[in-house]
Structure 1
Amino acid sequence: MSAQVAVNAVTSACKTVLASSVAKVYTTEVKTAIQKLGRPPKMVAFLANNDPAAKLYADWTAKACTDTGVDFELRQVDKEDLEDAVFQTNDDKSVDGIMIYFPVFGNRQDQYLQQIVSPAKDVEGLSHMYIQNLYHNVRYLNAENTKKSILPCTPLALVKILEYIGVYNMMLPYGNRLYGKTITIVNRSEIVGRPLAALLANDGAVVYSFDIDTVQKFTRGEGIRLRSHRVTDIHCTLEEATKMSDVVITGVPSEKYKFPVEYLKDGVICVNFSTAKNFEISVKDKASLYVPSVGKVTVMMLMRNLLRLAENGSSN
C-alpha cells in the first residue's frame, strides 16, 4: 500500500458528526415534553447589540422554537434600556424563560446583566445559584428531587454531544460514566470552558484545562469533597496533555488559532465549539470522530432548559 493510499484510508475512517444530527434527537424530546406540559412555554430573548454572531444565534433560536412549538419573542432594545426591560419581564407571569444575547457592553456590566435575570426564568443557567450547583454537582433544587437545576447551555450541549457519539459509558452509574477517559479543553472561559471541565470531571474524567497562561487539572473530588470536583494548577504542555487524551475540545474565538494536529493521537475524538474553525481539515487524518460546531445543539439545550423552568414553575 502506497503512503498516499494509507493516508486516504485513515482519512476515510474519520466520521464528521454534524450538530444538526444531534439536535434532531432533542427536537423530538422537546416536542413530546411540550405536549405533556399542555401549553407552549414562552421565551423572551433580548438583542441589544449588532454582533452578527448574536443575530445568527437569535435566528437559530427562533427556528428551533418554531420547529418545537415554543412561543418565542425576540425583543430588540437599546443597551441602555435593557436592564429595565429585563426587570419588567421578570415580573411577567406569562413568560417562562428569558435570555440575553451577549456581548452587550463587552465588560463587567455584562456579568451584572446575567445576574438580574430571575433564576426562575434563567434559560441560560448563568445565575449564581445554578453555577454554584454545577460546581458542587447539585442536580436538584429541592430535597424531594422534583425540580431540576439548570445547566449552562453550551457546556450542556457539549456533554450531550459526547453522550451521542459514545464517549459516555451509559452502562455505568451517574458520576462514573467518563471513568477512564482523559479530555483536553483549550478554553477556560467562565461561560463554557471552566463549567465544562467541572461537568466532565464530576462524571469521572481527568480533564486538562488550558487557557492563555496556565494549565489546570480537573478530577473528581475525594473524601469530604466527593460530591464536587478538584482543581490543581499543574505544569504540562499542550502536547503532553493531548498525547494522553481520548477527546480534545477547542473553543478559541480566533480565526488565527489552529490546534496543532500533530499533537493528536490516532483515533482521538475532536470537538470544536468556537465560531472560528480551530481545526484544519487535516484533523481527519488523526481523528476517528470530528464535530466541527455545536451551535444547533446549544439552541436545543435552551429549549430543554425552558421546559425545565416551566415544569419547575408549574410544580410550585
Structure 2
Amino acid sequence: MSAPTDSNPASCKVILSKNVANRLIAEVQEGIRTLEKPPHLVGFLANNDPAALMYAQWTQKTCEENGFQYTLREVSRDEIEEAILAANADTSVDGIIVYYPIFNNRQDQYLQQIVDVSKDVEGLSHRYIFNMYQNIRFLDPETKRQKCILPCTPLANIKILEYLNIYNTVLPYGNRLFGRTICVVNRSEVVGRPLAALLANDGACVYSVDITGVQKFTRGEGLKKRRHEVVDLEGAALKDVAPLCDVVISGVPGEKYKFDTSLLREGAVCVNFSSEKNFPHEVREKASIFVPSIGKVTIVVLLRNLLRLIQNRRADDVQPAAATERPGTLEAAS
C-alpha cells in the first residue's frame, strides 16, 4: 500500500455521488419490476439554457438505463402552459418535470402550480411545498398511505447524509438528526431554504447562510416543536457559525466562490451541491468526508419520486413502496 501524500490525506474519505446513486438505483430497479409497464416521465424544455439541456440528457440516459420511458418535449415559452395542461390530462404520462428557469420571474412559480400534484415528480406544487415546510409527511395524514413528494435536490442531499450515517437510525423517525449541527451555504427558494427546513424538521440545528446574513432553523430546545422555526441571527456571518458545525453543505452558483476551509471544524463532513466547485482542494486536509458533487443522486431521486407518485395512485398501496421504503432507511416508518 502506498503511503498517503499531501494531496490525498489519509484522514479524508472522498465519496463519489455514483456510490450513493448505485444503492438507490438498486431500490428503484426492484420497485420497477412490480409494475405492469415502464413509468413514463415527460420533460419540458422551453429555454436555451445549456445546463437545463444537459440535465434533460442525463435524465433521459438514466431513465433508459433503468427501464423508464422518457420523452423530452421542446416547446416555446408561449406553448409551455398548454403543453403542461395537456400532459396533466394524458393518461400515458406518469410524471412531469419542467426545466427552469423559463421566464425567470413569478410566471415560473405559476407554471410550478399548474403541474398536476399526482404527476409532480419535483415536489414543487403548492401542496407539497406547504406540507414540506409544515413538516406534514403524508398527503393523507390520518391513514398515512400516500407519502409527500420532496424536491429532488434537497432530497438528494438528505439521501447522501443518510448514506454517510449522519442520520441516527437508533432515534425515532423524524428525530434522527437530533444533536447534529449543520451549515447550509445557500438559501435559494429552490434548494437552500427547503433543505434547511427539511434538516431542521428531522431534528438538526441548521445555520442557513447567504449574502443577506445567517438564519437559524431548529425545532426548539429538546425538539419540542412540531415543525421548524426560523430566527434571524443579527450580525452573524459564516465565520461565526461554520466552526460549530458537524456538516457543511454548500451550493453557491458562482465560479469565483470558494468556501474558506480554515473555518471548518476538524473532521467535518462537507457536501457540494453546486455545479461549481465550492470547496477548494484543501478541504481534504480538514474534512473527514467530502462529497464533491451530487448530480447522479439527484436524477435517481427523480426516478424514485416517480415511483412514489405511481405508488400513491395504486389502490392496494403495497408496491413499489416495499422496494423503496426498506426498514431502517430514512423514509421508512419506525
- Counterpart for residue 16 of structure 1: 14
TM-score by length of 1: 0.94
- Counterpart for residue 51 of structure 2: 53
* Aligned-pair CA distance for 1:38: 2.8
- Counterpart for residue 173 of structure 2: 174
Alpha-carbon distance in 1 for matches of 2:93, 2:314: 12
* Aligned-pair CA distance for 1:315: 2.4
TM-score by length of 2: 0.89
- Counterpart for residue 282 of structure 2: 282
- Counterpart for residue 232 of structure 1: 231
TM-align CA RMSD: 1.9
CA deviation map 1:86-120 (0-9, x unaligned): 01110001111001011111222111111111111
Summarize the Cα distance change of 1:9–1:122 in structure 2 as closer, same or farther, 3 Å threshold: closer
Which residue among 109, 112, 115 is the counterpart of 2:110? 112
- Counterpart for residue 194 of structure 1: 193
* Aligned-pair CA distance for 1:237: 2.1
CA deviation map 1:178-200 (0-9, x unaligned): 11110011100111111100111
* Aligned-pair CA distance for 1:223: 10
- Counterpart for residue 36 of structure 2: 38
* Contact persistence 1:221–1:227 (CA under 8 A): no
* Contact persistence 1:271–1:293 (CA under 8 A): yes
Alpha-carbon distance in 2 for matches of 1:43, 1:275: 24
- Counterpart for residue 129 of structure 1: 127
AA aligned opposite 1:308: R
CA deviation map 1:45-75 (0-9, x unaligned): 0011121111111111111111221111111
AA aligned opposite 2:182: I
* Contact persistence 2:45–2:73 (CA under 8 A): yes
- Counterpart for residue 331 of structure 2: none
Alpha-carbon distance in 2 for matches of 1:224, 1:262: 31
* Contact persistence 1:54–1:102 (CA under 8 A): yes
- Counterpart for residue 257 of structure 1: 257
Secondary structure of 1:271's partner?
strand
- Stretches of structure 2 that go unaligned for 5 or more consecutive residues are 317-334
Equivalent pairs, count:
312
CA deviation map 1:228-261 (0-9, x unaligned): 1111111322112111000001111000111111
CA deviation map 1:279-305 (0-9, x unaligned): 111111111111111111111111011
Alpha-carbon distance in 1 for matches of 2:296, 2:110: 27
Does 1:155 find its partner at 2:151? no
Alpha-carbon distance in 1 for matches of 2:166, 2:8: 20
Share of identical aligned residues, percent?
Answer: 56
AA aligned opposite 1:65: C
* Contact persistence 1:7–1:285 (CA under 8 A): no
Alpha-carbon distance in 2 for matches of 1:225, 1:58: 42
Does 1:81 find its partner at 2:79? yes
Alpha-carbon distance in 1 for matches of 2:204, 2:99: 31
* Contact persistence 1:10–1:286 (CA under 8 A): no
CA deviation map 1:163-212 (0-9, x unaligned): 00111111211122111110011100111111100111111110000111
